[in-house]
Structure formats: C-alpha cells, structure tokens
Structure 1
C-alpha cells in the first residue's frame, strides 16, 4: 500500500532562496502550460508536451526532467478537475460554480508543490541530507529532520516521486513509500464497533469513550479569536491569523492519529475486525440550527475514519462499513426502534425492555452487530486506500451489499 511520509527540510537561507526561485519558476511554467492546454483543448501528457516542452525549457531555464514534471502536473490537475466535475463536487452542469470552474484554465499558486523524481532528488537518509535540483543548479547537503520511525520507512520502502512543498515559510518533502500490508485476518472472532460523534469523538462497543469536549472548547475559543482578529483587520491581526490558520487542523489531525492507532491496536490484539458507519454525505443530509453549523462542519469524522482504515489495512485488520440508519434509536438488547429511546445526547433508555446505557455505546454495539451479521453472510471488506494527495488519482473501488453496507474492495 502507498503511504506518504512527510519530513521537514531545514535549508540554509541561501538554499531556501534557491528552492523558492525554483518553485516560482516551475509554477509560472505550469500556469503557462495550463493556458495552452485550455486554449488548444490538449490535456493529455504526450500531446501537451509537443506544444510546451521546448518553450518551457527555453523561457524558464528548467531542466528536461523538471519540464516534464511541470507538464505532467498540469495534466494531472485537469484530470482532477474532470473527476470533480463528473462527480458533481463543483455543482450541477450549467450552474454558476460549474461554469466558473470549467470556464478558465487551472491556476497554480507560486508555492504549489513540485514533484521530484530520483534524477532530481537524492536521499542520504543515514546522514539526514538530500541533494535537490534547482533552477540555479544542484543544491547539495540540504538538511532534513524526521522521526526514527520515518527514517526506517524511508530507507526500506521509499519508491517513486517526492513532492517539494513550502507551507507557511517551512519546507517539506512528501515522499511516496510502498509499505507492505500484513496478511488480512479472514477469520475475526468478533468486531469492534466504533461510533463517531462530535461530543464524543469515538466510542467503542467495549464501552471506551474518547471524549472531544476539550477539543470542542478549544475550537470555540479559536473561532472567537479569529472573529476578533478579522474584525480588527490590522496588519498585525492579519499576521496573527496567518500564523494560526492551520493550528486547529494540526491539533485535530494529531488527536485523530492517536485515536486511530489505539483502535487498530486494540482490534489487532484481540483478533477482531473494525466496524464503521458509512457516513458519506452526512453534512448534506443533516439539518442544523445556525449556532451548531460551525461545530458540525469542523467535525473531522471523515479524516478519523480514513486514518482507522489505512492503519487497519497495514495491520491486516478487516474493516466493514455499515448503514448508519437508526443506530442511535435501536436498542442493542431487544432491537426495538423508537425515536423516544434516545433520551438525551448522552443517554439511551429503551421504551420496550427498559435497557439503559450510554447512547454512543449503545450505537457502537448496534454497529458491531450489523458488521458481524454482514461478515457472516459473506460481505467481507478490507480497509480502503488512504485518501490521495491533491492532484493524484485513487484506485479505490466500492460495492454495495444487499443490506446497504458499503464495502471497499482492495485496489487492483
């Protein structure tokens, strides 16, 4: 399976300037190539190369490999745009948003990522140094830092391209690694149901509750701070906003990684599979009052589900996706379904048998029971591929079982 390892690059001021000039030149060339592709209607790699390759090398002074990667990056961007238009992610055909997206060339920011292959980027992993091609020549002995686990993964499994990224004045390399998967456990003894939520980020069918109250309080505080800074609209306020713009996302990502790692480790230790709800499109299906919309929209359940899925696949733990309908209203003991069963956000009390439990734990038990039933019927499932990086394709295929559970089959 493919994983992306992100390492922090620590260039000197002179090296950083060379990298900055290179990124700017590559993205200016990509913008020009995008305009040619849009004007001539040529958006395949080899066809676009005939129109742009020589000009890119002459005008921007890029090497042969860099010019080819600029053209390929442009074609990949148009492929992504076509996929989004076809999937309806940019509105219906003929809508204002659809026309705005399809009626102009794809544009690249000055600091957009640039792919590097092994001819342009050489790794010296034990010394934590890389040699990078730039528009002004080869820059050697560029330092980078990574954790011991990342260094081992890079040394053993790095394959293919790496992307050079500049983010908030910091430099990163995103290296593609082909990590072997553990053999899939085709005979799990049971399933560990996971109920994802806002107040409680994840609740397992074992009764373990990973609460998100502290995270939600931090989000509210950050949202109020952003509002005050936006209202001030001074240069110092804008600088503070820029520094803090990704802080909340980094915190949520770190928490999701820790929860996913814990859940997968517990399932692997006990020989069980993992049961998740198929929550695609839930934001469009749920109506909320205005005060609740910001909290609901910042709920990163999809990211947590993706982390659980790829960590499970790496560990050989099977994952089954079930229909989430009525899991919060169904009694895990007698199966009685009633809206009144859900007494409050935290408590569930069955109107038929009198069973009382924590509401999220009751829901996770229903998820576990549905997954186990599907598995016994033969609706086996493996964890889907990790979400692709921007501009990259995905080999994920889906099938839907007769009972409504969406099971992901491994990419071919």
Structure 2
C-alpha cells in the first residue's frame, strides 16, 4: 500500500494527500467494520483518542499524520513480520539427550512476537497516549523481531540469533550445566565462529539480559537466613528480623555492595497469564474448560470434577468468564486416616511410600479447635537455632 502521501507538506491543497487520507479511512473502515469512532493517528492524538470519521479527516488534513505511524496496527494492518530466512528447526543431532525435549517449533518465534507486539498496541481499554515506558517496551519487541530473523552466523541455516540463545539456555537447563560451564561452552563457540552476529550474547548474564525483553523475568526478594521471614512489603527496609535477631546481609568488612544471606526469586503469575492469552492458539486452549468441555460424567479434566463444579456454583461471576480457568488446588495430608481400619489402601505404599496405621482423627467443634490452639506452644518460624524437630508422639492431647 502506497503511503508516500503521508510526507506531503501542503496538505490543504494537495489532492494526492487528500486522496491518501480517504484511502486510509476506507482501509480502516473495511478492517474495523462500520464503527462510530476510530482512533485518530494525527500528530497530536497519536491514536490516543477515538473520534468519528469526519473528525479524524479534519485532524489529518489540518495537522497531518504522525510520521512514525508506518504500520497501521490500530486500524487493521498486520505487523510486517516475514518468515525468517533461516530455518529455526530443532537441533537434529542424533544424541539421545535431546530427543525427549518438547521444544516449540522455532519458526513460531516471529508469530509469537507479533502476537505480543500487537496485543500491546491493540488494548481496547486504553484510550491514552502510550507513555515512555510503553514506548520503550515496543522498542524492545522491535529488537526481538530483528533478532528472530537475523542469522546467528552467515553460513548457518538452522538458527537465528534469538532461537540460538533460547536453544542454548534450554540445553543448559536440561543437562544441568553450571553457570561456569555454560560460559565456557559459549566462549568455545565464539572462538570457533568469530564471524557470528555481533549481537549474540556470549555469557549467561548477557543471555538472560538479552531475553529479559520478552517480559518473563523474576523479582528478587531477600529472605532471612533462618527462613523465618521475607524482607518484603512492610518488612522490606529491615536490616534484621527481631524474632531470630539475624542480620539480613552477610558481613562485609571491605564495604561496598551488601550481599543478602538468601534470595527468593519470585516469578509473577499475572504477566505469564497475559502472555498465554496473547497467543491465539493457547488462548483457545485456556478457554477449553468452558467452551468445549463435554459434561458426560467422565472425568477427563479438572473441570469434570465435583470440586470445580462446586466452586463455579459458589462464585458464578468468576466462572462466567471463560478466561478464569484457574482454581485453587488443596492437598489433604493424611487423608487415608479417614478410611476404614481394614481398607487395602491403608497398607499400600503407592501413595507416598509409607503405610497408614493411625486412626481417624476426632471430629471437633470450632470451640474445641480454638481451645487446642490456645493451649499449644509455638516455636519461631523457619530454622531458628533453638528449634528442634517435633516428635510425632508429642502433644498427644492435640487432634
């Protein structure tokens, strides 16, 4: 599609420019359907506000179209992602170690990135101009598009830069390489193939930084040495925890950067759920329980279970949205205690490798349970130096 008219300066008198604006509006109407309002791509609105077709026409004639808006993603045009010139098939070695890895086809990378990119732009709930952080995210994805199509080596027809980095990290995890061994192997590749693309990250640190733009990183939270607390939220600024009086950081006589005793790596759930729904194929799978599950009294999926159905009855608003496919999972410790004394499952070791000889626990009222809680003695959380493992026969009066 010819977009050269966008750079014409004499917009009020140029028939070519006015015809270009008309062709743009016709294109948007054909792709978006007959809507009362469409996003205005003029230099002032920059797709941040919706107006009628006539108002958009006036804005584009008077102000001009934003020169950076070359791909009309807000008006139905697909992001121009061509198939990579390099084949991103799985590594075809004969080694047995890689045959069990269920890798996604590497030629899906550009499609995946396109879905992520477009989903970030086509947010129907956002009518404001993208802020600086959002623009930076789009720039990051643009770089990933390029890396997904650039050959890792001029003569390599198997991997792009992006697929090579993903594959090497996958191999590292699958074969339990140490960080040092990964760096050593990458250095060998670099020495053997000096003509590799200059953007290839040759260390584990750089590789993780390289893939961080995909948006699936993690948060680091400092933890107490004895596992009794996380230095998080209201405790984020504490230097020591008062219960065990243990310092948050290791002693550092030389000064400089403080090193925590322990670090918890937290992988946020929300961005990962968003990423699943960015893919058309995976989004359909995520809604399967609601849209395609057949209720024929056969247990094929957790949605066929009674617990799932009871949850849906108790929370109808939540269950009405097919995207709400997550349910809390409850594990019952010692569940076999409720079986009959002569039940065969009590002597089976298939459950946890042990047999169950304890009798059924007492059925207590709420008041009786509170009395047991009040009469019990509690030790500090975690691995406090004064703690010792409680023996099974302690506190016989407790249920």
On whether the aligned pair clears a TM of 0.5, the verdict is: no
TM-score (norm 2): 0.23
Larger CA Rg, structure 1 vs 2: 2
TM-score (norm 1): 0.22
User: Bigger relative contact order, structure 1 or 2, given CA contacts below 8 A and separation 6+?
Assistant: 1
Structure with higher strand content: 1
